[in-house]
Structure 1
Amino acid sequence: MRWKEKILTLTPYQPGKSIESVKKEYNLEQIVKLASNENPFGCSKSVLEALQVHLNDLAIYPDGYAANLRETLAQFLQVEEDELIFGNGSDNLIQIISRALLHPGASTVMAAPTFSQYRHNAVIEGAIIKEVPLINGEHDLDGMLEAIDDNTNIVWVCSPNNPTGTYIPENKLTSFLDKVPSNILVVLDEAYYEYVTADDYYNSIDLTRKYENLIVLRTFSKIYGLASLRVGYGVANRNIIKALEPAREPFNVNTFGQLAAAAAVKDQNFVEECKLKNRQGLQQFYNFCEQNNLSYYPSQTNFILIDFNVDGDRVFQFLLEKGFIVRSGKALGFPTAVRITVGSHEQNEGVLKALGEFLAQLKTESVGVQGESV
């Protein structure tokens, strides 16, 4: 078989360990998963009610146009219906955009580290990848502008960024967009948009009106709590959407995902409650880090990246054996850090207690080493 040469160098996306596999491997009864940035508070009750109505429709194909969801979301966002595109999660939209615009000889610009699927899809399409290192956990926008060349078709901007949780202030983003050539698509990935509380954050939907080469990606997997149903969407001017649609697979958003997303967006009280609880949870982590002199990035998401100055895999394994699943920073470009999803108040207390035990163990080891060297 004549496989694409580039695809043979790739490894599949590695999701966090599942709860059931950890229970079985370590003979644990209770597991707290804080690895995939899921909403610990689930989803709106209105979603569950909406799904009950259509349980007998499994034999019917989904609405390929997502008409009801399209109308609901367009009204909520105050955009036109033909300015929306839907995907099987925003990952699917990243794939669609890459498929439509990237090819051998084309280049794409992104930060590093950032969400891995930008690079992954670019490799599959055989594109030239230009990665610009973060500066203090933030996008180097000037460096990204310098990386743009005549062959650049896509620039990826993740704000808030995964895995750092940092964001780009409005003045810096608009200054950047002013300088990107109008024939290059800028993808603004806002998977964690609903968690943002920063005063100088921008209205990205308004920006799509000003910049016709901008598409904004969002998802129902995070604060809306619909990760298992995989619904994402993009907002851009109708010309971009029209050009992307042929690269979208038919029926790519399932019926239950469409129903759930339409119900979820109508319950903004649930969203605001989760946003508040997340801020309170982040403060628990901030307090712990400051008490223990640990470096971290202030986050505008529902996760926090903490530097422990030891192998991140070691922290990950310690917590795993205590019944907490997190993500080692080693695979995320931060080898001495771990990324932890903000859970409920009780879940946060539990993982922080375990981390306190880990730090105490490190201190004991350090004293032992010093004693041996005397």
Structure 2
Amino acid sequence: MTCLNLDHLLPDYIKHFEAYIPSKPDPELMRLYGCSRLYRLNNNENPLGPPEAAQEAIRNFPPPSAAVYPSGDAYYLRTKLAQRFGMDPDQFLVGNGANEVISFVMKAFCEKGDNIITADKTFAVYEWIAEFSGFEARLVPLKDYAFDDRAMLDRIDEGTKILFVCNPNNPTGTYWNRDKLSRFLDAIGGRRIVVVDEAYFEFVEAEDFPNGMDYIRDHPNLVVFRTFSKMYGLAGLRIGYLAGSLEVVQAIRRTCIVYSVNALAQIAAAAALDQDDHVLRSRALVREGKLYLKRELARLGLSSQVGEGNFIMIRLPMSDTLAYRKLMTYGVMVRAMTGFRFPNHIRVTVSHMEALQAFIEALEKILPHRPRLLHSIPKETG
């Protein structure tokens, strides 16, 4: 029998990278924790689901079409994006979720010895993709829960290729206004690629929030990320996109894997773009939910970080991972934030009032200073 010796095959940066283990499917979690229903407040999904036009497109998808390869470059969706934003279709690239377009950009511009710069407490995939690709991820501490523009500029050296800014930031909801983004882009000039991740753009209601698309013409080194997973409720179909100058996007296109975005996702996303009423209804739901949560958390004596986006972050007087397991026994699923380097914090998606009330009721029961029911708290295993 042949013996396999992986040790000499794996690069050091892969050996030291810890794989992300996703949670089990909902039915398995409900069985494990003994709950009859589960409120998903962990992944910032839109509780309204996809817009009606997207739902209709999904219902009307002919099953025989599943045998036919999709448009390899999402031609019709890119055309529709170009019409919506007043740009050229070739200024857009569509990927299998935002994670893939992050990978496209890094593969296009980074090589051995290069680094990327981002925050230490933000969407972790920038850091993960850099590290398992063999690039250095330079993490700059947040300042007042927000990206520190000056500190990021100070970390730049000859090996810096890309700077990632999550705007608004996940999980803090803080954002750079138009003036701060403009100053940052001016300071960078055209010497590095700047990625502004606007995954939660459609949820933002702040009047001074910048629309990244408006900056591409004057800053050709800018790349803007958007997704259909959050506002448009298509997380299960995995589709996101990037926009930039023709020159930069053409360079990134060389790293794309064609046919990675399925046909149903492309059709549903194109239909979703027209549903501005869905955006308004979703914003109203989030606005109402945030007011409720702020009031109830204050009553419980808990501090919270509430910014833009459809989520809030809460500081607990206990371990976040323990709180996660206890809340699960009441059928409420939140995001433990130790992995985001916010120990003793949880992130909660703003959802329907029924789900938020269930969360507050469960939270009251598990807080250390409150009477609580006795439960056997299982521990998830991979």
TM range (shorter): over 0.9
The CA distance in 2 between the partners of 1:265 and 1:250, in whole Å, is 22
Cα distance per residue 1:179-223 (max 9 Å; x no partner): 014120001001111110111101211111111110000000001
1:356 maps to a residue whose letter is: E
The answer to whether 1:39 aligns with 2:84 is: no
Per the alignment, residue 219 of structure 1 pairs with 227
Unaligned runs of 5+ in 2: 1-5, 373-382
Per the alignment, residue 323 of structure 1 pairs with 331
The CA distance in 2 between the partners of 1:27 and 1:294, in whole Å, is 27
The CA distance in 2 between the partners of 1:318 and 1:362, in whole Å, is 15
Q: Which among 48, 70, 78 is matched to residue 70 of structure 1?
A: 78
The CA distance in 1 between the partners of 2:65 and 2:239, in whole Å, is 19
Per the alignment, residue 148 of structure 2 pairs with 140
The CA distance in 1 between the partners of 2:109 and 2:20, in whole Å, is 22
Per the alignment, residue 240 of structure 1 pairs with 248
Per the alignment, residue 175 of structure 2 pairs with 167
**Contact 1:102–1:125 under 8 Å retained in 2:** no
The CA distance in 2 between the partners of 1:128 and 1:26, in whole Å, is 39
Per the alignment, residue 347 of structure 2 pairs with 339
Per the alignment, residue 184 of structure 1 pairs with 192
2:130 maps to a residue whose letter is: A
Q: Which among 299, 305, 309 is matched to residue 301 of structure 1?
A: 309
SS at match of 1:91: helix
**Contact 1:159–1:167 under 8 Å retained in 2:** yes
Alpha-carbon shift at residue 13 of structure 1 (Å): 2.8
The answer to whether 1:314 aligns with 2:322 is: yes
Per the alignment, residue 89 of structure 1 pairs with 97
1:62 maps to a residue whose letter is: P
Cα distance per residue 1:56-87 (max 9 Å; x no partner): 20110010121111111111122111111111
SS at match of 1:252: coil
The answer to whether 1:253 aligns with 2:278 is: no
1:293 maps to a residue whose letter is: G
Unaligned runs of 5+ in 1: 366-374
**Contact 2:114–2:136 under 8 Å retained in 1:** yes
The CA distance in 2 between the partners of 1:110 and 1:49, in whole Å, is 39
Identity of aligned residues (%): 33
Q: Which among 354, 359, 374 is matched to residue 362 of structure 2?
A: 354
The CA distance in 2 between the partners of 1:128 and 1:46, in whole Å, is 43
The CA distance in 2 between the partners of 1:99 and 1:174, in whole Å, is 26
Alpha-carbon shift at residue 364 of structure 1 (Å): 5.7
- Higher mean alpha-carbon deviation, 85-94 vs 3-12, is at 3-12
Relative to the length of structure 2, the TM-score reads: 0.92
Structure 1 residues 27 and 364: alpha-carbon distance in aligned structure 2, compared to 1, 3 A threshold: closer
**Contact 1:16–1:36 under 8 Å retained in 2:** no
**Contact 1:185–1:213 under 8 Å retained in 2:** yes
Q: Which among 189, 211, 215 is matched to residue 207 of structure 1?
A: 215
Per the alignment, residue 57 of structure 2 pairs with 50
Per the alignment, residue 378 of structure 2 pairs with none
The CA distance in 2 between the partners of 1:120 and 1:254, in whole Å, is 25
SS at match of 2:194: strand
Alpha-carbon shift at residue 125 of structure 1 (Å): 2.1
- Higher mean alpha-carbon deviation, 287-296 vs 242-251, is at 287-296
RMSD: 1.4
**Contact 2:289–2:353 under 8 Å retained in 1:** yes
Per the alignment, residue 19 of structure 2 pairs with 12
**Contact 1:104–1:128 under 8 Å retained in 2:** no
Any residues of structure 2 matched to 1:101-116 within 5 Å, and which? 101-116=109-124
1:324 maps to a residue whose letter is: V
Alpha-carbon shift at residue 254 of structure 1 (Å): 0.7
**Contact 1:16–1:326 under 8 Å retained in 2:** no
Q: Greater helix percent: which structure?
A: 1
**Contact 2:365–2:371 under 8 Å retained in 1:** no
2:230 maps to a residue whose letter is: K
Alpha-carbon shift at residue 53 of structure 1 (Å): 3.5
Structure 1 runs of 4+ with >6 Å offset: none
1:103 maps to a residue whose letter is: E
Per the alignment, residue 24 of structure 1 pairs with 31
Per the alignment, residue 61 of structure 1 pairs with 69
Per the alignment, residue 202 of structure 2 pairs with 194
The CA distance in 2 between the partners of 1:263 and 1:227, in whole Å, is 15
